[in-house]
Amino acid sequence: MVRVVIAGVQGRMGQTIKRYAIEKGIDFDGFDINTEVSDNVETVDSFDFRDGDVIVDFSSIEGVLKNSKVAHQKKIPYLTGVTGLSEEHISHFKELSRDIPFFYDSNMSVGVHILSGLLKKLADEITDYDVEIIETHHTGKKDSPSGTAIKLFNALNKNSNFTIKYGRSGFEPKKKDEITFHSIRLGGVFGEHQIRFGNKFEEISLSHRAFSRDVFAKGAVDASIWLLTQKSGFYSMYDFLSN
């Protein structure tokens, strides 16, 4: 039986992934930093990664940097969806992926992947439109703009036509090649992203709304099982859903 190791199991996403694994009948273990050993949860210092077939990590940036190193040392497939990572982090992960299957995506939702694909197709058609990206998340989310908002921007910016602006204030007018991120933190919102295109004649709006964290947990667990059959390399939701 496949055993999934959940890093950050006590967090919001960790708990959702744990519940989904149980519902799917998938064997799992979990650990968190500074937690007592109990109920299938161990401290990060005592946990033996060799007991797992694949690691699913939604702990923290610090946790990901530590856990991915251990996964690399023990040659265990590794998946993370932690956001707020830098380009240097991604480059480091790509180095690790030379030796293990390494999966990273800022959003594990199928719907967001579909939206990203639509934006790539639109990139050549929106040269006469102003673009704004609005993302809303719960008040506990630390990074802004969200990793998903950046993912959507990159899909639109495949031709490198745009620059980024964070929020808006003062008296400076919007520049034509500028896409503005607006980050809203509100209550317990799981994740909403809206891309608005407009010119003086009309507006187009595309959006995605997550109704619960279950959509991310499902994507993460399903992708981690898929990752077990892959050779060493750097993978994303695009690769998973293209197979």
Class of domain 3-108+213-241: alpha beta
CATH 3.30.360.10 is held by the domain 110-209: yes
Residue 16 contacts residue 217 (beta carbons within 8 Å)? yes
- Mean pLDDT for 163-174 is 91
Nearest Cα to Cα of residue 5 among 231, 154, 149, 221: 221
Please compute Rg for the chain using Cα positions: 19
Say which of 137, 151, 182, 208 is annotated catalytic.
Answer: 137
Any catalytic annotation for residue 138? no
pTM of the model: 0.85
Distances (CA, A) of 239 to 25, 40, 108: 25, 32, 12
Q: Please write the tens of the pLDDT for every residue from 33-77.
A: 544 333 444 444 445 665 689 999 999 999 899 899 989 988 999
Domain edges within the chain = 3-108+213-241, 110-209
- The two tokens of residue 172 are 């400076």
Query: What pLDDT is attached to residue 127?
Result: 85
The sheet with strand 233-235 has its strands ordered as: 41-43, 27-32, 3-7, 54-57, 78-80, 101-104, 233-235
Cβ-based neighbour number of residue 197 at 10 Å: 18
The pLDDT mean for the chain works out to: 89
Residue 137: active-site member: yes
Q: Which of 89, 92, 120, 141 is catalytic?
A: 141
Q: Decide whether 3-108+213-241 matches 110-209 in CATH topology.
A: no
Q: Which residue has the higher pLDDT, 195 or 159?
A: 195
